[in-house]
Chains A and B, each alone.
Chain A
Amino acid sequence: MSAAGGQGRPFLRVFLAPEVTYSRSTGENDQVSRSQQRGLRRVRDLCRVLQLPSTFEDTAVAYYQQAYRHSGIRAARLQKKEVLVGCCVLITCRQHNWPLTMGTVCALLYADLDVFSGTYMQIVKLLGLDVPSLCLADLVKTYCSSFRLFQASPSVPAKYVEDKEKMLSRTLQLVELADETWLVTGRHPLPVITAATFLAWQSLQPSHRLTCSLARFCKLANVDLPYPASSRLQELLSVLLRMAERLAWLQVLKLDKRSVVKHIGDLLQHRHTLVRKAFRDGTAEMEAGEKELRGRCQGPEQGKEEVASSSLDLPEGKRPASPTPLLPPCMLKPPKRICPPPPVSTVTGDENISDSEIEQYLRTPQEIKDFEKAQAARQAARSVSNPP
């Protein structure tokens, strides 16, 4: 029997549990430390909780073992080793394009995102791994499917129930639109998807759903509302409004952020053309402006673009003011503080240092005495308030 191994279980146990596991009988775990065994068990458990395919489990376990070969990991605190379990599972999922977010992993491990972040970056560097980015399209499908809106229930009125496929496809289009208009780069991916899901759901039956707020929507759907989602929602709505200004039959309606929701279907249908027309990149805008001027001067000879888009675009006279540049929101906001150019520094490093300049930093003897007295008084006060 394997009593000589690391386990050292009493002989009696063998009779109470007639089946001996393979790992206990072969002694394969004898070389493996207890904390590593615990970690490996947790990796397998996490994979099962997440209902991942079985191949993922083996890969994640292999990564954990690989990590454990490094002395820095073996000597790390328990907290780090626990977080490492999540890192290995996350890397495995990313490599198979399985949309698992760090937020989900941290929630399951009851771990702090800061600790997770440090361990994750360290382990990727240590193992020299190439981890692909989170796949947005798959994340949309998984995340949207978790919204409890596809069947009527006591908390979900009939008018709020929606068809899953319709919602998925519209959400995907809105997320693509957000990506194209710089709302996704550099930001947490999930809040954008929450905002897009909400807009998709609202726009599919606006008459009954416009009164529902984002917070209430998430509550009904039994999904947590991430904090940045409201801000992403406002940004997405302003993009849609800019696009609406380019659709002839919408320009006359003078839409605002609430009424534009009713027309999201139309806007998404023509989104590629509208984005091109509504937003212009800085240099392209100037070139386009010049071309239009030349086109008008030439008279009947119009550019191809203008002829092609005339069905969607407005007659020349009523075209709105110059389009806003297509930039990330952080570049559109005015700068928080104007950085003055740094003054020219003629310091050589070898200047003379005057005594007076140094003495300004030193205490006079009187000041020293006062300071010592104050310190002593503080010590006395402390010892009185905290009797030993």
Chain B
Amino acid sequence: MARAPRALSRAQLQLNSRASPFPPPLLTVGPPPMEEEQTYLELYLDQCAAQDDLAPPGSPLLSPIVPDDGYIPNTSNSETVFNSHLQEVKGASGHFSSVDLSFLPDELTQESKDQSVIRSKQDIEENCKTQSQQSRLSLPREQDMGLGLINDSTLSKSHSQAYPGDADSVQPSPEKPNSTPLMSITPMTPVTPVSECSGIVPQLQNIVSTVNLACKLDLKKIALHAKNAEYNPKRFAAVIMRIREPRTTALIFSSGKMVCTGAKSEEQSRLAARKYARVVQKLGFPARFLDFKIQNMVGSCDVRFPIRLEGLVLTHQQFSSYEPELFPGLIYRMVKPRIVLLIFVSGKVVLTGAKERSEIYEAFENIYPILKGFKKA
């Protein structure tokens, strides 16, 4: 079984995706004076008092669960940054999933996190049901789900008080609240809702890697002494060498650079490249093994339902190119991650252009809800 996609925490994803608009707190001022901390706490308590149906400050919700990227937030934030964050949090009612609050200390973000837990669950349901317009789907905030699920009693209380009441300052979401009961789960397990996961893992089909043998090579000598080599200087200026295990092909150039193709995993590609380097060594060249790098990874999978490519090119025209007169598949150029997908009417998808395995998995998880939207004719 191929390696399952590593569930990235929300914080990691946010960090990977873009430079955070807010500078990391560690780079700014030194330890804060006591008054500042006091002010933050007062502000927070005031808000809590205004919205009584949310958890009181002393509840277990406040036990900080530090994001596992080691980005431990401390309270040394400038006040303006904190306020602007709160503004953003309050203002953008439907877009909690894109707000990066990882740098704020956990106590200060509880109130916004409670709201976002209520909302993010609806967002996820919406995203699954309706056609997603954006090409990039942010993965659910596992920390929030974990937190919400620990304290299901408090949260369901807030659910029941918030929605039928309708009067208070908690903005009721337009959808009906999720009626499935909250499961109790061990707090540390990040949870992705089943409706989000496609359950399909793309298989890697080809890995292209390069390595520098760091010595000039005599290609004629290599072609003469090696059984598995072909060299046709008039056609191509490199020796084409093949080995049986792992079944791969290498292009070896006289400069000492080598390209290795055909492996089904990163480790196999590296092993194969090392074997080619050994062959070259045995032929008497002082070959080394420098700068091994995976240049491209190709994966494929099958969603098992037919796809209306004409519809997909209409709704995602800025990313898609579908020319049935030239090629039967739709070419989808995803921006984040930068992967090219070939989508066919049979539901088979080819993903290419990745430098890392996680990009392929992420790209597929991004495209799956979009494709599901085109399932029915």
Contacts and interface: CB of A to CB of B under 8 A. Distances in A.
Interface of A: 101-103, 113, 117, 120-121, 124, 130, 133-134, 180, 182, 184-189, 281-282, 326-328, 330-331, 342, 344-345, 347-351, 353, 355, 357-359, 361-363, 367-368, 371-372
Given A185-B308, A362-B227, A133 B322 contact: yes
Nearest to A360: B227
Contacts, number: 117
A2 B226 CA distance: 68
Given A353-B274, A358-B278, A363-B225, A326 B243 contact: no
A371 B224 contact: yes
A347 B246 contact: yes
Contacts of A103: 325
Interface of B: 1-2, 203, 224-228, 243, 245-246, 264-271, 274-275, 278-279, 282-283, 305-310, 313-314, 317-318, 321-329, 344-347, 376-377
B203 A342 contact: yes
- Going nearest first, the 5 A-B pairs with the smallest beta carbon separation are A349-B270, A349-B267, A186-B328, A186-B345, A347-B267
B326 A102 contact: yes
B324 A186 contact: yes
Given A371-B224, A372-B224, A188 B267 contact: no
Given A349-B267, A367-B227, 4 more contacts: A121-B323, A330-B346, A344-B1, A357-B275
A134 B322 CA distance: 10
B271 A362 contact: no
Nearest to B274: A353
Given A342-B264, A361-B243, A361-B279, A182 B226 contact: no
Given A281-B376, A358-B275, A363-B225, A189 B306 contact: no
B377 A353 contact: no
A326 B344 CA distance: 16
Given A117-B326, A186-B324, A347-B246, A133 B310 contact: yes
A345 B246 CA distance: 11
B271 A347 contact: yes
B325 A182 contact: no
29 contacts: A101-B325, A102-B326, A113-B326, A120-B326, A124-B321, A133-B314, A134-B325, A182-B377, A185-B309, A185-B345, A186-B324, A187-B324, A326-B377, A328-B306, A328-B345, A342-B2, A344-B1, A345-B265, A345-B268, A347-B267, A347-B271, A348-B267, A349-B269, A351-B271, A355-B282, A357-B275, A362-B283, A363-B226, A371-B224
